[in-house]
Structure 1
């Protein structure tokens, strides 16, 4: 039995789908107001709870062999990104869980002060010292986040690019990341290892609208406001909603810095998990060419 937290998120939903396609038993940790009908339809055991409640985590981890932690906080990094994961690890130990997979973020070890980065780094350190068998995955940006941008581009030709258009990234297929997370629990070469997880290519940020232009056969109209405009907007928001301003710190970090995997890191990843990472172009074509709605992707 797998326990998947963040099961209705873009990554968690894919992990549950793939596990059920393999006929694996999976307990999906969800919130009451989330859209979890698809997970039930696929045969997942739905556990309705709150990750900020230790008693819910205690119940969810009973009779579990593997934990895949892929939830995110949105706003409360301390309660959800940090404390909930610490409680998950503690209860995984108490329940003799065989393997714990933690979805972190690329760049978590660079000393960024954004709360999400700090929380995930502390969880990494706690997990490494816990005595559990673990795999830590540090992905770059998720390719599914590009789907709404691609749809807007297809319809209007517009692309909003904030900040330096030469910043590099290696955006990962969210489906590939789900495969790697699942495979980690049985791959001996992944035991007690940390992997940077990126896509098949290193792209500059201005490469993304170029790829969209090739896929949809239209000229891009790129809007490229400088980063200081975002900073001004964030500061203004902080006067009204300090918590939202703090959560936007993670986005600010992502906009201001480069997040890409080296050739050596991708080679190690592909060799360990015996797969070829998907390109951004392939991902966009596969989803938008199939008629799928991107609402739950």
Structure 2
């Protein structure tokens, strides 16, 4: 039995689908208010609970052989990104879980002090490494499924909003590839007790993304480039009214202001261990957009 947290998110939903397609028993940890009907229809067991409640995590982990932690903080990194994962790890030890897959973030080890999510993920990584459990830690770059939303907006308007330095580089990973890597990590000796940066096969400058959109839709992109200092000004103004909101925007500020890409050697290592070719951003978008 696999337990998947964040099962109705972009990544978690794909993980559950893949497990169901492979006829693996899977328990999806979901909130009562989430849309989990598709997962139930596909054959997943549904566990309705709250990741901020230790008793719910305790119940969800019973009878589980593998855990894939794919949930995000939803604005509360301390409680959800950090505390819930610590509880998951403790219960995994209690119930003899054989392998724990943790979805972290590329750059978690860089010490970004202004990014609560990065700090929480890094502390969970260290706790998991010291736990005695078999683990795989995946540090993905940006999800291609997030870019899909931008592509849909571009198709409607022809406008692309780019905040920050257009030359900043990223290696955006196919969310389907990341789901496959997460699922297959539990069986591959080469993935045992390893940390993997996970990105797409290309290193793209951010200004290249609207060019990909233009190529797909045969439309010249109109790029609006907003300097990062304008974002900083808005964030500071928000902080005067709501300091918590300013802090929560710290992670976004780090994402906008820095580069997040995998080296060619890191990608080659991933493709070798998991034995498949990673999908480019353009290929991912064409599959989902039908163009």
Matched, 1:82 2:99: no
Instruction: Give structure 1 stretches of 5+ with no counterpart.
Output: 291-297
Runs of 4+ in 1 over 6 A off after TM superposition: none
Q: What CA deviation, in whole Å up to 9, does each residue of 1:215-262 have, x standing for no partner? A: 000111000010011111112222333222222111100000000000
| TM-score for both structures, normalised by structure 2 | 0.98
Which structure 2 residues correspond to residues 101-250 of structure 1 after superposition, within 5 A? 101-113=101-113, 114-250=115-251
Query: What is the Cα deviation at residue 7 of structure 1?
Result: 0.4
Find the aligned partners of 1:206 and 1:226 in 2 and give their Cα distance. Answer: 13
Query: What is the Cα deviation at residue 71 of structure 1?
Result: 0.4
Find the aligned partners of 1:201 and 1:72 in 2 and give their Cα distance. Answer: 25
Find the aligned partners of 1:258 and 1:170 in 2 and give their Cα distance. Answer: 9
- 1:51 — aligned with what? 51
Find the aligned partners of 2:35 and 2:242 in 1 and give their Cα distance. Answer: 27
Find the aligned partners of 1:93 and 1:187 in 2 and give their Cα distance. Answer: 21
Query: What is the Cα deviation at residue 148 of structure 1?
Result: 1.4
Bigger Cα displacement from structure 2, 9-18 vs 244-253: 244-253
How many residues end up aligned between the 2 structures?
290
- 1:293 — aligned with what? none
Find the aligned partners of 1:101 and 1:170 in 2 and give their Cα distance. Answer: 21
Query: What is the Cα deviation at residue 283 of structure 1?
Result: 0.6
- 1:295 — aligned with what? none
Instruction: Give structure 2 stretches of 5+ with no counterpart.
Output: none
- 1:68 — aligned with what? 68
Query: What is the Cα deviation at residue 118 of structure 1?
Result: 0.5
Find the aligned partners of 2:218 and 2:285 in 1 and give their Cα distance. Answer: 14
Cα RMSD (Å): 0.8
- 2:35 — aligned with what? 35
Which structure 2 residues correspond to residues 4-23 of structure 1 after superposition, within 5 A? 4-23=4-23
SS of residue in 1 equivalent to 2:266: helix
Find the aligned partners of 2:244 and 2:27 in 1 and give their Cα distance. Answer: 31
Find the aligned partners of 1:176 and 1:96 in 2 and give their Cα distance. Answer: 28
Which structure 2 residues correspond to residues 82-101 of structure 1 after superposition, within 5 A? 82-101=82-101
Contact 2:201 2:264 in 1 (8 A): no
Find the aligned partners of 1:243 and 1:49 in 2 and give their Cα distance. Answer: 26
Contact 1:172 1:198 in 2 (8 A): yes
Q: What CA deviation, in whole Å up to 9, does each residue of 1:25-84 have, x standing for no partner? A: 100001111111111111111101111111110000000000000100121111100010
SS of residue in 1 equivalent to 2:226: coil
Find the aligned partners of 1:256 and 1:213 in 2 and give their Cα distance. Answer: 24
